[in-house]
Structure 1
Amino acid sequence: MISNISVENAVQAKNQIEKLESQGLSRDNIYIFAHGDEREEDIADALHTAEVGIKEQGFFRSMKNYVVARGNELRSQMEAVGLSKEEAAQAEKELDQGKLIIIARTLQ
């Protein structure tokens, strides 16, 4: 199961992540996305959430993301953790508005 949550700021993100944790999800299965790469890293580090890497994307997709535009990279990463192309495109539009996207997945 994949949860896709849009929030306005890091405080709301922290609250949502704590809520997900109280439902039994591990922070290793919670990802946070921001349009700005540095903002995303800072918030993920502060909230101790997982980062999308080779494990989720595979080697070739991961390498490709180093040379594509940030929007393409974000959509690719969101798809790698479970969103459909359409869901990733919609989530990226919300990122364009300055929101944060939290994606939580339960392993089945």
Structure 2
Amino acid sequence: MDSIGTGSYAKVVENGVQAIEEVNQLRSSGYSKEDIYVISHDQEREERIADIADSNEVGLSEEGLFGTMANLFRSRGDELRSKITSLGFNDAEADFYEKELDRGKVLVIARRARLI
């Protein structure tokens, strides 16, 4: 499932290699490192892919202090859904993407930086 709508784009891919390819395609279409996020159910895998692809990870600036602190006490599934919703997706979309992550897939999300 690809999603373009709320200002965010998401694509579920099968593995890290496809995630890196997707990040590269997004970068060539004008997205910057700060616009692209990689999410995996396995946190170490997520960090490796994000590092190799030179993409961003969801953190304090996306979730805010409360969301980041709350993640310390959440299950990994709840944490992932929180991260996905912080990037502009609704609860139903976050549930769908989290289930795909449970299956070992990788989620690549891109969004344009907000102007303040």
Q: Which of the five TM-score ranges fits, normalised by the shorter chain?
A: over 0.9
Aligned alpha-carbon RMSD (Å): 1.0
1:31 pairs with 20, 26, 37, which one? 37
Query: What is the TM-score with the length of structure 2 in the denominator?
Result: 0.89
Given the alignment, which residue of 79, 103, 109 partners 1:97? 103
Match status 1:80 vs 2:89: no
Q: Is residue 9 from structure 1 mapped to residue 15 from structure 2 by the alignment?
A: yes
Q: Which runs of 5 or more residues in structure 2 are unaligned? A: 1-6
* Counterpart Cα distance in 1 of 2:79 and 2:56: 16
What percentage of residue pairs aligned between the two structures are identical?
A: 44
Give ranges in structure 1 of 5+ residues lacking alignment.
none
Alignment coverage as a number of residue pairs: 108
Give the Å deviation of 1:5: 0.3
The TM-score normalised by the length of structure 1 is 0.95
Query: Structure 2 counterpart of 1:92, which letter?
Result: E
4+ aligned runs moved over 2 Å, structure 1: none
TM superposition shift of 1:107? 2.9
- Tell me, in whole angstroms, the C-alpha distance in 1 between the residues paired with 2:29 and 2:97: 23
Q: Pick the aligned partner of 1:54 from 53, 60, 63.
A: 60
- Structure 1 residue 11: Cα displacement: 1.1
Matched to 1:77, the amino acid is K
Higher RCO (Cα < 8 Å, 6 or more apart): 1
